């Protein structure tokens, strides 16, 4: 019996919607455990307890807003689609349309380097573009397809994904730390039937957040390494045997290729109009290489 791989891939998109509900459930349980059961009730006690509780609740909400904002952006933002009938632009054609003049503004001689042709999409493939069998289309500077966000992670939403990872790690780590005292007291309070339900919710929130914090730490470290070398998850295999990755422009430039140059927006899932115009990598069709920088 033949197995249709593409039907299986399409099924992963359905699984993604379940993951969104799971994220919402984890956020809900964590919110109830931290704000309502643990620290919300201590806000009116006065003294140091109130100050500590107020600080925890504020930090919790700030991280939660940034987390959800980044999550919504990465879910809804198109990672980057190849224009219809796209083809590589030669150096001569780039000069005719004034590409090199625009490139001089940010110090790079930007050239479209031929990517190839996608037999599935029947269209040209820009550099660093890959076909996603789940989305069934080519994605610009594709990193991977993430079932947690029901979307591909590519040139246009990679920053949002990284911020989502970062803020989720910080939030889950914080929840783990602030619920640790209650978790330690869980086994003693569980004997009291009146507080059994409360203790069970705190226990569940602690275990979930602790597990996610540990797993997310690995992803944060991995993507920090990829970001520092201007590499995607897909390109890790392409780099094997290469002495120096051609897209590695140095840590500062590599960072700006994803987060932009406007420092005030680095921690927010936003781009400045100026960066979108001057940094072609944010649009996903052209990418400066080491030869551009060294020239």
Catalytic residue flag (residue 135)? no
The one catalytic residue in 132, 135, 138, 146 is: 146
Rounded Cα distance, 155 and 283, in Å: 6
- 3-class DSSP string for the chain: CCCCHHHHHHHHHHHHHHHHHHHHHHHHHHHHHHHHHHHHHHCCCCHHHHHHHHHHHHHHHHHHHHHHHHHHHHHHCCCCECCCCCCCCCHHHHHHCCHHHHHHHHCCCCCCCCCEEECCCCEEECCCCEEECCCCEEECCCCEEECCCCEEECCCCHHHHHHHHHHHHHHHHHHHHHHHHHHHCHHHHCCCHHHHHHHHHHHHHHHHHHHHHHHHHHHHHHHHHHHHCCCCCCHHHHCCCCCCCCCCCCHHHHHHHHHCCCHHHCCCCCCCHHHHHHCHHHCCCCCCCHHHHHC
Rounded Cα distance, 138 and 5, in Å: 17
249 and 209 Cβ atoms separated by less than 8 Å: no
Rounded Cα distance, 43 and 40, in Å: 6
248 and 255 Cβ atoms separated by less than 8 Å: no
Catalytic positions, please?
A: 146
């Amino acid at each position: 019996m033949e197995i249709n791989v593409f039907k299986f891939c399409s099924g992963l998109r359905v699984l993604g919607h379940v993951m969104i509900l799971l994220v919402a459930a984890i956020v809900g349980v964590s919110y109830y455990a931290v704000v309502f059961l643990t620290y919300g009730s201590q806000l009116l006690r006065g003294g140091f307890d109130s100050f500590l509780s107020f600080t925890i609740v504020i930090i919790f909400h700030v991280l939660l807003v940034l987390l959800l904002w980044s999550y919504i952006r990465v879910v809804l933002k198109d990672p980057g689609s190849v224009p219809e009938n796209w083809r590589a632009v030669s150096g001569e054609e780039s000069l005719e349309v004034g590409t090199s003049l625009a490139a001089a503004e940010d110090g790079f001689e930007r050239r479209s380097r031929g990517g190839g042709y996608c037999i599935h999409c029947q269209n040209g493939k820009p550099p660093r573009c890959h076909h996603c069998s789940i989305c069934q289309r080519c994605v610009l500077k594709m990193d991977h397809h993430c079932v947690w966000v029901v979307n591909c992670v590519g040139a246009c939403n990679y920053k949002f994904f990284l911020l989502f990872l970062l803020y989720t790690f910080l939030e889950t780590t914080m929840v783990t730390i602030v619920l640790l005292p209650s978790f330690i007291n869980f086994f003693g309070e569980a004997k009291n039937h009146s507080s059994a339900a409360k203790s069970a919710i705190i226990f569940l929130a602690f275990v979930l957040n602790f597990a996610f914090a540990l797993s997310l730490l690995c992803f944060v470290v991995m993507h920090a390494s990829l970001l520092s070398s201007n590499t995607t998850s897909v390109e890790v295999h392409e780099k094997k045997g290469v002495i120096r990755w051609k897209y590695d422009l140095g840590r500062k430039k590599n960072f700006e290729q994803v987060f932009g140059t406007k420092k005030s927006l680095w921690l927010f899932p936003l781009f400045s109009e100026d960066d979108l115009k001057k940094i072609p990598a944010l649009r996903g069709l052209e990418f400066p290489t080491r030869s551009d920088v060294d020239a």
